[in-house]
Amino acid sequence: MRIQAEPLTGLVTDTLTRAGAEPEHARICAEHLVGANLRGHDSHGVGMAVSYLRWIAEGRMFPNRHAKVAKDSLAVLVVDGQFGLGQVVAGEAMEIGIARALQTGVACVALRNSCHIGRIGAYGEQCAKAGLISTHYVNVVGHPPTVAPYGGREPRTITNPYCCTIPRADGRHITLDMATSVVSAGKLRVAYMAGQPAPPNALMDGQGQPTTDPAAFFAADPPGFLLPFGGYKGGGLQVMCELLGGALAGHWTTQPESDRHYGATVNNMLSIIINPDALGERAEYEAEASAMIDYIRSTTPADGFDEVQLPGDPERASMAARLADGVPIDDNTWRELAEAATSLGIDAARFAAD
Ligand SMILES: NC(=O)c1ccc[n+]([C@@H]2O[C@H](COP(=O)([O-])OP(=O)(O)OC[C@H]3O[C@@H](n4cnc5c(N)ncnc54)[C@H](O)[C@@H]3O)[C@@H](O)[C@H]2O)c1
């Protein structure tokens, strides 16, 4: 089925509100999730709402909490997410970091103890809207590891996303936003729900054999695991996200002595936010960056390519298409979402019919 962004946002907002979130917090979270769907990242879209509702009901995620500054020293801020709705507390942490970077030229924000913050590109875009460059190293905790290190046969980390956003005056920001595993766990969930295979060379089964069956990842005993992208280089970035996002910002990694059974997905994120004005004439920098971006785009496409895209281009194309045609939702995801809404007294079909 396809559903337009607005009623889908309404459905998720109302459902989270019934689950106890303030309407404003519910709306921020719903807009973020639908924003991920619009950009083509169904892995981090409304399908996640079902997990959020479960974590709220289980008392692991606390919807109305705010980001709390735990340490403030010049350009460096430690912000505690207090296990609140990730999209709310991470957005608040970025607002604090943006204000500081505008004052000092650079801000380093260590966000810890935030429940799942979703699509990391949203925070890069938030900084870009204020004209700021940002880079984000994220780790994932609260569950046993699911991603093997480069060259390893057992999982040691989770999908550890990395993001860097370069703002552009025309709003066509360059946003590199990715899991450091070949695919995110959410993309395996989407493939599993839709009865589709996982991409090759991404997944091993519980016996350590390559597979494209996403069910292997969700098997109980022993579960399959993901591989890092890009050989030892991607494996290296995966480690940096764990050490910077996890150990430095969060004081919480996936090593065996830390809490690996919290029961909700928790993200820790180290964000470095840079004000280009602090490094000299912004106009000069922007002109140089634009000239380089045009030069990159001007290369002759290789066989099999229509054009050279830059990070952020696929998301913009998806957004234009899905705003026009609606967001595709597979039957299993819709059924789970509708059941969760019904259990809170909301008729999901009413939104689908809008
Ligand atoms: N919160 C969490 O715990 C968590 C964990 C993992 C991933 N995530 C999120 O999952 C989402 C999906 O991650 P992913 O790794 O599946 O993303 P992806 O593989 O779809 O895209 C990765 C990046 O590559 C760029 N890209 C894609 N195709 C391109 C092309 N042909 N040319 C140039 N650039 C191209 C995209 O613009 C994007 O910046 C991200 O938003 C990420 O933040 C979140």
Q: What is the pLDDT of residues 249-265, one digit of tens each?
A: 999 999 999 999 999 99
Residue with tokens 């999730």: 33
Residue nearest to atom 7 of ligand 1 (CA): 179
Instruction: Supply the pLDDT for residue 271.
Output: 99
Atom of ligand 1 nearest to the CA of 311: 37
Q: At how many degrees (to 10) do helices 49-57 and 331-343 cross?
A: 30
Q: Nearest residue CA, atom 26 of ligand 1?
A: 311
Ligand 1 center to residue 90 CA distance, Å? 18
Residue 354 has a pLDDT of 58
Residue 44 CA, closest ligand 1 atom number: 10
> Hey, which of 41, 48, 178 would you mutate to test ligand 1's pocket, going by the most ligand atoms within 8 Å of its Cβ?
178
The pLDDT profile of the chain, 354 residues, written as one tens digit per residue, is: 999 999 999 999 999 999 999 999 999 999 999 999 999 999 999 999 999 999 999 999 999 999 999 999 999 999 999 999 999 999 999 999 999 999 999 999 999 999 999 999 999 999 999 999 999 999 999 999 999 999 999 999 999 999 999 999 999 999 999 999 999 998 998 899 889 999 999 999 999 999 999 999 999 889 999 999 999 999 999 999 999 999 999 999 999 999 999 999 999 999 999 999 999 999 999 999 999 999 999 999 999 999 999 999 999 999 999 999 999 999 999 999 999 999 999 999 999 875
CA of 221 to the centre of ligand 1 (A): 29
Long-range interactions of 64-73: CB distance < 8 A, separation 24+: 64/20, 64/21, 64/22, 64/25, 65/89, 66/92, 67/92, 67/93, 67/96, 67/111, 67/114, 69/96, 70/112
Name the residue at shortest CA distance from atom 41 of ligand 1: 119
Query: Sign of the C-alpha dihedral, residues 252, 255, 257, 260?
Result: positive
**Ligand 1 binding pocket, CB closer than 6 Å:** 41, 43-44, 116-121, 140, 159, 161, 163, 175-179, 183-184, 187, 267, 309-312, 314-315
Q: Give pLDDT, residue 353.
A: 72
Which residue's CA is minimally distant from atom 1 of ligand 1? Answer: 118
State both tokens at 49.
């709402």
| Nearest CA-CA partner of 268 in 302, 287, 243, 232 | 243
CA 177–ligand 1 middle distance (angstroms): 5
Looking at residue 250, what is its pLDDT?
98
Centre of ligand 1 from the C-alpha of residue 176, in Å: 7
- Taking the CA of residue 122 as reference, the ligand 1 atom at the shortest distance is 41
Q: State residue 57's pLDDT score.
A: 97
Q: How far is the C-alpha of 119 from the C-alpha of 219, rounded, in Å?
A: 25
| Phi, psi (deg, nearest 5) at residue 40 | 95, 0
Mutate to test the pocket of ligand 1, among 177, 293, 316 (most ligand atoms within 8 A of CB): 177
CA 162 to chain centroid, in Å, comes to 9
pTM score: 0.97
Question: What are the residues facing 80 on neighbouring strands?
Answer: 68, 112
